[in-house]
Chain A
């Protein structure tokens, strides 16, 4: 692993690293569920990193993995699911959305604020310390190791709290969508 990273340092540009690791990145995309769009996504990633000039992240490979992951996620969300889910979310909370105007932009914004309040309530409902641990992880982007230090607890306990939080916020919400 160290050897790979050292090779990478010498090539300098992120675009060059992407090209050098093309087969591995393509295999990665296919493994995580990309079908015929894999080549396309790789091209999209290449255009994006080329636009960054000489920007080189600390961990180029994990940066590229994350970029490809996010591009595939965007693709998946763009398949109309996001729109449908948003509509369902609005229905679920229709009671609070009496004041929606006909302007779709206005509607989106209201849903956004409503969603923010709902999310805030859902997090508070997790109770402490789960709510604070979730905020540190999801909002502040702090690693689990740092959270473990801050809250004076073991890594496995941090993971347990995070699982509880994500389960409540994502899976229960999925249930709501189907209702």
Chain B
């Protein structure tokens, strides 16, 4: 293979990397760069398209994927035609009515969305108008609607839902593209960088995504990676949402997930060295000690070294850190 270095392509590659964590000033600089020569934008978008495709494949990578039952999803995104149609319809409605008029329509005026958010290490309990109780773990954001207490969206983090069941007005949690509908239940939902996890403590919940419908019962745990690979596993119902008892219980979970749970539940940022991110852990971690004591104990339980990093800790292999 011949390595031809095209300076425009190289610069475009640099932008692709930088824009992943860009601030407003970076976007301005990017716009100034592309504006200088149409060939730059051309090169950039070609790379960005390839990058987007690669991303769809890579989203499945956070390892720790145990050999378990795999639930097949039809890989079907909403077709471009459908979403275009919807956009068009929405635009026409807005043009026809004006935004002000649109907000006065009764079915739109009814929505009174609000958000509930916790910081890392913080928990919060809330009771909705219908009697449903929600316990939020740290680093969690929920979107709710005063006008519709039976519909909650989890933007990120973890929450335990103890649902006041009403078959005529089913309670539903939207988590990305997945919808969880209560069938009389207590269930825990986690949504973070490693995907979506649902575990059922009592009763049953209906999972729906992209045409796949699956009823989960007490002791069922379903995880979905960001690229829509779903897996079923069994858990001890008593261990579901164990964080509410300041305890984290695992059966073969990847250390990356343990680190994410620790960060969310304690407020101490815990990362894991890539070399051991996929290493499985089984056992239970108590969270009652704070800060450094807890990390020292966690490191012992997980059989890893805890290395102090700016702003937190990194778990690394014993005896020497990876390089």
A interface with B by C-beta (< 8 Å): 1, 27-28, 31-33, 43-44, 47, 53-55, 59, 61-62, 65-66, 69, 72-73, 76-78, 81-82, 85-86, 105, 108-109, 112, 115-116, 118-120, 129, 132, 135-141, 143-144, 149-152, 159, 162-163, 166-167, 169-175
Contact = CB atoms under 8 A, between A and B. Distances in A.
B167 interface: no
Given A28-B27, A65-B22, A140-B62, A112 B50 contact: no
B48 A137 contact: no
Contacts of B26: 62
A150 B51 CA distance: 25
B318 interface: no
A31 B35 contact: yes
A149 B310 contact: yes
23 contacts: A31-B32, A33-B38, A33-B45, A43-B91, A55-B115, A62-B24, A66-B22, A72-B45, A76-B45, A81-B49, A82-B53, A85-B50, A86-B53, A112-B56, A115-B57, A116-B57, A119-B58, A135-B61, A149-B310, A163-B17, A169-B54, A170-B47, A171-B47
Interface in B1-54: 1, 9-10, 13-14, 16-17, 19-28, 30-32, 34-35, 38, 41-42, 44-54
Interface of B: 1, 9-10, 13-14, 16-17, 19-28, 30-32, 34-35, 38, 41-42, 44-62, 72, 74-76, 80, 87, 90-91, 94, 111, 113-115, 143, 155, 193, 227, 256, 271, 273-275, 309-310, 314, 322-323
Given A166-B13, A170-B54, A62 B143 contact: no
Contacts, number: 160
A86 B25 CA distance: 34
